[in-house]
Every structure is written in structure tokens, then in C-alpha cells.
Structure 1
Amino acid sequence: MANQTETIIRSLLDWIDAGSLNPGDEIDEAALADRFGVSRTPVREALMQIEATGLVKRLPRKGAVVFKPTLAEFLAILEVHAKLEGLAAGLAARRLSPALAARLDAATAACETHFATLGETEPDAYYQLNLRFHGTVAEAAGNPFLLEMIKTNARKLMAYYRARYHYAGSIGDSARDHRHIADLIHARDSAGAEAAMQRHVQFDQVTAMDLLAALG
């Protein structure tokens, strides 16, 4: 049953990452059990484990719902997330290995190429490149516990970050920010990289309200 539970957990997290599951979406136990060809026991165990991270809220005798923050919750999570991402960038500037440096260059260049060739179009495709950049920075920090905290926290905001790239000018701004942050990391400017990443990740309250409204 452990492997069944792990498979369901991995699938649910992948669906959240890909935007197949969004804030407020219901997750039906019976439908999941049918999809994976299992009893409801591993499904319930999977939902319990994900609930412990705050990504879903279980519903009595039905299943669960994907976490949908209030404005206050959104801003509180965002405050923590900006600090975590900033910490990762600062550590990456101190610990960047040759292998991660090459990956960081590739991830940064991919964002720039998207903007240079497609402009502000195909925002969902750009968002995947954005995830690659941030994931590379987090890995370069060399702290697996920090990496896991960033992943868990990011999933609570992922749908809203994805929606952000549908706004005019956001892709170009993001690609330029990524280049600036990457340059600071390569220059071993830990304080500069940390501050730049925090500014990049943070939203103001008006933008947060717009994104919450956009996703209903």
C-alpha cells in the first residue's frame, strides 16, 4: 500500500504543479481510487499526508479540496516564500558549483530566449521555464531541507504565479530579473542575490488581490 500511496501523492503534486489542479478544486476519493485501480485506503492516506503540508483540506466522507488562500493567508505565505527564495539565492551565491552554474546559465538563457522570440505570448510555457530557473537556484543553495520547504510553499502559490504571466509586461520583467539574479549569484554577491530574489518573488497587495480575483 505504501507504493500505491506514494504514487497517488506524486501524481497529485504533479497535477498541482502543472495546473491540472487549482485552488478550490475538489479531489474526489472514489474517482481517484478508480483512476489508480486501488481501494480508498491508499487514497485517504495520500490525502492525509498532503493535508499535513497545507496543500489540501480534507472533506468529511468525500475527499479533499485544494488549498485556496484568503488575501491575508496569501500575503502571509508570500512573505515567508520570498524569504525562503531569497535565502536560497544568497546561499547559491556562496555555494554555486560548476555544474549548477552551467544549469543556471541554461535556465536563465531559456527565459530570455522565450521573451526574445515569443514576447509576452505563451505565458504557461514561460511559467515552466520560470519554475526551472527557481528550482535551479534552490538546488544551488545546497540545502535539501530548504529546497523541500520552497517546493511545498511554492505549490500553495503556484496557480497565482502562473496567472501572473498572463499580465502584460510580466514575462519581460521576469526574464530581466532572472538575468540580474543570476549575475549576482555568479558574482558571489550573497546579500545582493538575496535581496534581488526577494524583490522578484514578492507581490504588492493590489497585485495579490487581482490574482485572487482572477482565479475566483
Structure 2
Amino acid sequence: MKNRSTSLREEIEEMIAVGQLQPGHHLDETELATQFGVSRTPIREALIQLASMGIIDMRPRRGAQVATVSPQQLVEMFEVMAEFEAMCGRMAARRMSKSEMSDLEAAHLACKAASNTDDTDDYFYQNEVFHKLIYQGSHNEFLSTQAMNLHRRLRPYRRLQLRVRDRVKMSFHEHDQVVAAILAGDGEQAAQLLRGHIIIQGERFADLIASMNKLKAAH
């Protein structure tokens, strides 16, 4: 069972992921405690957890604020994420059990249903399940943990990326190829496809930055 600080961390993390708390936003412990109806202690513990994940910055005498990521940092983080995903996919194609493959196919169908309704938020959550199953399917706990940590760090940006026109449909098509490669046991193909699925460059990066700027302007 989750303790209060962990559930608070997840709620605040979700607010950051959906853009309710923007990069650079100051996080006031007293305001958050009032908002969630708790004392400042679990709020402080939740903020420390978020700081350890790199999602917020905590500085002496300046308090906590949502971490700001530069375009260059964002590119670098997506580059590393792409390699993590490639490694997970390569191992998952060799190591996934039949039941794990069935779970992956079920998650893929859930992504399809969300894609067909054009519900980007629903697709975002189903997409998270899909990728987490690939991490776990690598049967390399260290790699899976590192991939999940960076995945969480990039949540706000992965979510924004899905709001770019036609990105959900393209993402599902890419998933389709990844699933086929994993089910066929083709680790190299799965790795190559997942690397391409995650990496952002050229037009996709420009679209992501434009989406970020548009969200900032709306706030």
C-alpha cells in the first residue's frame, strides 16, 4: 500500500505531466498542503522524491520549482531514452514469456482503441503501459529501472508530443511494427524500431517545441 507522500508525489507529477504546473513554476509547500488537505511534512517528502527524479529543482532559500529543460537537454534526454528503449526491445524479443507477449498484445489493442477515438490523453496512458511491459520484458531489472526513471522524467514532453497533428496514429503504426518484431523474436529489428520510435529530430522536434511554447502562452 502506498504511503501518503508517494501518492502525493504521483499527483503532483501528474499535474506537471499534463501542464497544470509549468516549467519554472514555484511550488509552495503551504499552498500544496492546503490544496491536498495534508500537513507540510508529506508534501515536503513528496517534493524530495520529485527532486531525486529530476522533475523539480530544490534550492536553499529559493524553495522548489518545476524543473526547466532546455531544448538541447531535451534532445539529449530523448537520445538516451531511445537507446534505453532499443536495449529493452532487443532483450524483450529474446526473453519475453508467452504470457508476457500476450500482455503486450493486449496493451497494443488498448492503444488501438484509444487511437481510434483520437483521445490523446487515453492513448498517453495506454502507451505508458505498452512501454512499461517492454521494459519489464527485458528481464534486466537495472535497465528496466533506469528506463522507467527516464520515461517518468520525460512524461510531460512525451505527452505533448502526442498532441502534435497525426502523431498518435503514427505512434500506433510504429507500435504495430515493434510488436511484430518482438513476437517474431527479432531483437535487432525491435531495437531499431524502438530507437526510431523514441528519437526526436528535425520536424518532430520543431513541432514539440512549438507545442511547448503554445502551452506556455496559454498559461
Partner SS state of residue 204, structure 1:
coil
Measure how far apart 1:4 and its partner are. Answer: 4.2
Equivalence for 1:125: 122
Cα distance in structure 1, aligned partners of 2:50 and 2:57: 9
Equivalence for 2:153: 156
1:67 partner amino acid:
A
Structure 1 length normalisation: TM-score? 0.85
For the 8 Å contact 1:93–1:185, the answer to whether it is kept is: yes
Equivalence for 1:166: 163
Partner SS state of residue 64, structure 1:
strand
Structure 2 length normalisation: TM-score? 0.84
For the 8 Å contact 2:171–2:197, the answer to whether it is kept is: yes
Cα distance in structure 1, aligned partners of 2:18 and 2:160: 12
For the 8 Å contact 1:19–1:159, the answer to whether it is kept is: yes
Measure how far apart 1:191 and its partner are. Answer: 1.1
2:71 partner amino acid:
L
After TM superposition, which residue ranges in structure 1, 4 or more long, deviate above 6 angstroms? none
**The 10-residue stretch of structure 1 (206-215 or 186-195) with the greater mean CA deviation from structure 2:** 206-215
Q: Deviations over 1:133-162 (max 9, x none)?
A: 111211211233322222221223222222
Equivalence for 1:203: 200
How big is the alpha-carbon RMSD for the aligned residues of Structure 1 and Structure 2?
2.4
**The 10-residue stretch of structure 1 (19-28 or 165-174) with the greater mean CA deviation from structure 2:** 19-28
Partner SS state of residue 53, structure 2:
coil
Which of the numbers 172, 184, 188 marks the counterpart of 2:185?
A: 188
Measure how far apart 1:193 and its partner are. Answer: 0.6
Equivalence for 2:68: 68
Cα distance in structure 1, aligned partners of 2:7 and 2:107: 28
Indicate how the Cα distance of structure 1 residues 30 and 61 shifts in structure 2: closer, same or farther if over 3 A, else same: farther
Query: Structure 1: which 5+ residue stretches go unaligned?
Result: none
Length, aligned pairs only: 211
For the 8 Å contact 1:28–1:62, the answer to whether it is kept is: no
Percent identity between matched residues is 28
Measure how far apart 1:197 and its partner are. Answer: 0.3
Cα distance in structure 1, aligned partners of 2:81 and 2:16: 17
Equivalence for 1:9: 9
2:150 partner amino acid:
N
